[in-house]
Amino acid sequence: MEIRPVGTSALLIEVDDPLAWFAALDAERTAGRLDVTDIVPGARTVLLDGVSSVTTLTATLRSWPPPSAAPVTADDLDIPVTFDGPDLESVATLVGTSKDAVVTALTDAVFRVAFGGFAPGFAYLSGLPWSVPRLASPRPRVPAGSVGLAAEFAGIYPTASPGGWQLVGRTDTVLFDIDRTPPALLTPGRTVRFVAA
């Protein structure tokens, strides 16, 4: 584990299993044993913000054993997806199978929200059975609800925005609603399945 200060009140830790560390740190915060404002998992890091003493927390973290694995939540979510994306055929070619086999693989997969980013409500879903390259040139506008693949992640665009992911389908599921608690539907650790609509 590498620990780096970020400004005067945050730490960035590089770890092998950010989701496991996020769950362990969040449990400590919930129990009142960790005084931080925010815990934000990333692809290979966890950011701890609002740290009262960077020096003390650094020493504490160095003494902790690494968590064995991220706990599996019982908070499963099925997301209906219409698999008619403009890149479905090219994804099938890239992974060496048919479009139907790609859809079957995606609906058989159990995804976990690894971390959020890019836009409010956007979640990087781990569990993709292959790695898929981004588009060579991003689209200037991807419609809200588009289901895309990039590298080892799947994701759903919560709003219309530019994007370079391979689009395989679309959903009407609302991913971000400021009037909902929490506003983001896809929170770290949540289990997600795509259901063919």
* CATH number of the domain residue 111 falls in: 2.40.100.10
Whole-number pLDDT of residue 73: 61
Q: Which domain holds residue 97?
A: 77-196
Q: Which is higher by pLDDT, 73 or 174?
A: 174
The answer to whether the Cα torsion of 87, 89, 93, 96 is positive or negative is positive
Whole-number pLDDT of residue 109: 96
Region 168-195: what's the mean pLDDT?
A: 94
State the residue for tokens 């709003």. 159
Q: Is the pLDDT of residue 123 over 80?
A: yes
Write the pLDDT tens digit of every residue in 26-64. 989 999 988 899 999 999 999 999 998 888 899 989 888
In a domain, 12, yes or no: yes
Q: Indicate the pLDDT class of residue 67, thresholds 50, 70 and 90.
A: confident
For residues 167-181, one letter each, b for 16 or more C-beta atoms within 10 angstroms of the residue's C-beta and e for the rest, the string is bbbbbebebbeeeee
CA Rg value for the chain: 18
Whole-number pLDDT of residue 127: 94
Mark whether 192 and 142 lie in a shared domain.
yes
Mark whether 95 and 38 lie in a shared domain.
no
Mark whether 45 and 118 lie in a shared domain.
no
CA 131 vs CA 92, 151, 166, 176: distances in Å:
12, 5, 11, 26
Mark whether 37 and 113 lie in a shared domain.
no
* CATH number of the domain residue 8 falls in: 3.30.1360.40
Q: Indicate the pLDDT class of residue 71, thresholds 50, 70 and 90.
A: low
Q: Is the pLDDT of residue 126 over 90?
A: yes
Whole-number pLDDT of residue 52: 86
Mark whether 53 and 132 lie in a shared domain.
no
DSSP SS3 for 22: helix
Task: Enter the tokens of residue 85.
Answer: 């994306």
Q: Which of 18-27, 54-63, 154-163 has the highest mean pLDDT?
A: 154-163
Task: Enter the tokens of residue 111.
Answer: 């995804």
Q: Structure pTM?
A: 0.85
Which has the minimum average pLDDT: 73-87, 93-107, 146-160?
73-87
Whole-number pLDDT of residue 25: 92
What kind and span of H or E run contains 19? helix 18-30
In a domain, 101, yes or no: yes
DSSP SS3 for 54: helix
Mark whether 92 and 52 lie in a shared domain.
no
Domain count, the chain: 2
In a domain, 50, yes or no: yes
Mark whether 44 and 93 lie in a shared domain.
no
Residue 135, classified by CB atoms within 10 Å of its CB into exposed (0-12), middle (13-18) or buried (19+), is middle
Whole-number pLDDT of residue 74: 58
